[in-house]
Structure 1
Amino acid sequence: MSLLRNLAGGLRGLFRKEQVEREMDEELRGYLDATVKEKMRRGMNRDEALRAARIEMGGAESLKEQIRAVSWESVIETLWQDLKFGLRLLRFNTSFAAAAILSLALGIGANTAIFQLLDAVRLRTLPVKSPQELARIAIDHRTDASGHFTSRYSDLTYAMWEQIRSQQQGFSNIFAWGPTHFNLSPAGEVHIVQGLWVSGEFFQTLGVEPALGSLLLPSDDQHECASAGAILSYSYWQREYGGQRDVLGRKLTISRHPFPIIGVAAPDFYGVEVGRSFDVVVPLCAELVIDGDDSQLKSRIGWWLAAMGRLKPGWSVERAAAGGVQCLECQAILAVQAWSFSRRVRHIRFAAPI
């Protein structure tokens, strides 16, 4: 069925281009609007939020090109266009065609070298304990879901995460996280930093040690969030506080809510996204404190979290996937949203080890 869906989608892209282009434009506008609203909740005014969202999102045409590039029909269309172009050149000017073919060959070689370099960077191991034991956890066919997607990694809702955490069997420990932006300005001005929401198991599961103070524990991520503290990245600590050791206990104001600084992460730990780093980490429970009525903790259609786990000794990804997780919350949400699904999701997909 997945193959037939991909085939049908590709044929639609080839023969109904204008409609597909309109749909992409609508999707990008919707994503931009959602990003602007999120940044405004973090303390930006509309102009600042719009500018920051456009910078983060990049050019619309560039994004559409990336979307087209991952589909099989783009290969067919590119080959067809190249073939027509080459035939025209051969017809009118064979010497020019030969020069163009040589240039294309050199360009392809250069692009291949660049791709290999980028690939090596993207696939380097994370700076954590035994990264080969980690696997990402996501809902199968999540791309068919509807709701509010407010993160680069909108794999799960909070309700799904809670149930998966309590029911999974193949991992010695798992954690949830979500990238965000925090406004650290105590007054009206704006001071935006790269932030992470994380569950209390985040640092323990990854085997990350503190450079100073202590890191978050499961006890710091409780519903009442009574002991919520903030963790600084090592680079942010050096950059903003000059590496001063008396930073512990100072108040960090996030969207006008004070959080005590309780620790600094290890120097070589930049997070779980290759190519991106964080500045400040707070527990998931703090999202309710910071966002209030707009909190995603209360939303059953707010997709804003990703999850990873450390496989138990002797467990493979295949075994963990075969054991599965009976996520009743996942099925309940999908039943409510069935009108927007091509087929219902009944199981959890375990991605290959990182």
Structure 2
Amino acid sequence: MSKVLIIGAGGVGSVTTHKCAGLSDIFTDIVLASRTLSKCDAIAHEVLKRTGKKITTARLDVDNVQDTIAFIEKMRPDVVVNLALPYQDLPLMDACLATGVDYLDTANYEPPNEAKFEYKWQWAYRQKFEDKGIMALLGSGFDPGVTNVFCAWAQKHHFDEIHTLDIIDCNAGDHGQHFATNFNPEINIREITQRGRYWEHGEWVETDPLAWSMDYEFPEGIGSKKCYLMYHEELESLVMHLKGLKRARFWMTFSQQYLTHLKVLENVGMTGIEPVNYKGQEIVPLQFLKEVLPEPASLGPLTQGRTCIGCLLKGIKDGKSKTLYVYNICSHEAAFKEVGSQAISYTTGVPAMIGAMLMIQKKWHKKGVWHMEQFDPDPFMDALNIHGLPWKAVEL
């Protein structure tokens, strides 16, 4: 018997709930909570229709730590899966500490008033979680998440040393909208408009936002796409845990139409995170923009094409140079057919379920605060093949 509490009723929350419901022998009880009860109820209705599994729904404002503590004590879950906004990581970790419940998230904490992507706030909880005898698993999505596990698997089975790492994220899908983001617009745009960073020779090097690009030939007919260098949080932990690493970078594809819209919005101040006074009311431009853009969950039936996310690794094995590309391709249409979501939500929601499953099964379980690459990658890699995200490894 095990119970999972899923926080967040967006596209990722929907996927994770569906996938947990399909494993009722592991997740015997599922509770889905968010600020908007109607969203939870809509997901519960779809889950019942698709899987026959009844789940419990509730309204919960996780910014109120005392209310969250009371709710967790009432529900008594085995693990809390945080699929809310990154601003809410620390309040939920506080609630898990107070109640002695394991914690999992898919993105690092981000302070609301500053677009700062660092793990230092969550690393500060290490001793507290260890003393409490509970576990926090950070970044159990795709990137971060699966990309970390790809690296750990490559390090375990294919390399003595990994010298360079390029994480390359391609969404080759098309939703037909003039401008829309595939996950929370506020978080997405904050991420993209920040300065780029990469690791080289033991230090971080900064670039102007989206100033560096490369063309990359993606496999299985996706073809050549322009990729832009960004900073992404998994680099911060991977540079600590990969042996021999000399350079690590993260790349993401964007269409020219998307970048043109983004530049215009940025130029007129709509991507700003500082409040402006409008007729006596304080409004954050980016939060207003989020409200007028298409809801990411609504893009599911509209999106066609595939994603391709992988790790290009170069290093040494038995004294010889080696290059390995480990990747997953996910179909937007197949994801929608299975769980009613596009592939961006699917590729994040499935790993969240797998991480929670391995924690419940105690295959991955240590006291304290941990990253994905710090565990044995094999059970996670096996689960990806079973639960909808099959991967390939190609020596180049």
The answer to whether the superposition gives a TM-score over 0.5 is: no
Where on the TM-score scale, by shorter chain, does this alignment land: which range?
under 0.3
* TM-score computed with the length of structure 2 as normaliser: 0.22
* TM-score computed with the length of structure 1 as normaliser: 0.24
